[in-house]
Amino acid sequence: MKKIFKILLGIFLIFLLLLAGAVVYLTYAYPSERIKEMLLTTLERDYGIESSIGELRFRLFRGFELEDFRILGVKGMPYAKPPLQIGKVTFGYQWKALLARRLEINQLILRDIPLDYRLYPDGSSNLDPLLAAFADSSAAPADT
């Protein structure tokens, strides 16, 4: 009985060491500043969206937390006041997808969201260029 207990204890300790190693590796390989720059660069390169992030935290078991996320405008058309500010964004992800080197978001929580929306006399709004940046020509037509 003692031998089985020692084997189980050894397996448990090896598991804890592997887990601690994974946490240390991910902390150094992907520091918060690097992830933040990757996100901001992707938004600007792929969508032409200029944005800022106050603080980004990566928690291995809980996901990502962004604080003070602001969309400043579309490239070349900055707004006087950011049209979208989010106090806190929390992303939860799938573990299995991470093992396959993919990021699949399974939870998204948005808190503290002031939105600056202005409708102009011609029927356009200050958010039209921003929404056009995310428009996908292959997307299905909107339901009316």
Convert the pLDDT of each residue in 48-82 to its tens digit: 888 999 999 887 777 889 999 998 888 777 677 88
Residue 96 pLDDT? 78
Residue 106 and residue 90: Cα distance in Å, rounded?
Answer: 11
Inter-residue contact 98 to 72 (CB < 8 Å): no
Does this model's pTM top 0.85? My answer is no
Residue 13 pLDDT? 92
Type of residue at 10: G
Tokens of 79: 């707004």
Percent with pLDDT over 70 in the chain: 93
Nearby residues of 106 by Cβ (< 8 Å), 6 or more positions away:
92, 93, 94
Tokens of 115: 């939105």
Residue 52 pLDDT? 92
Task: Go through 72-87 and write b for each residue having 16 or more CB atoms within 10 A of its CB, e for each that does not.
Answer: bbbeeeebeebbbbbe
Domain ranges for the chain, please list them.
30-134
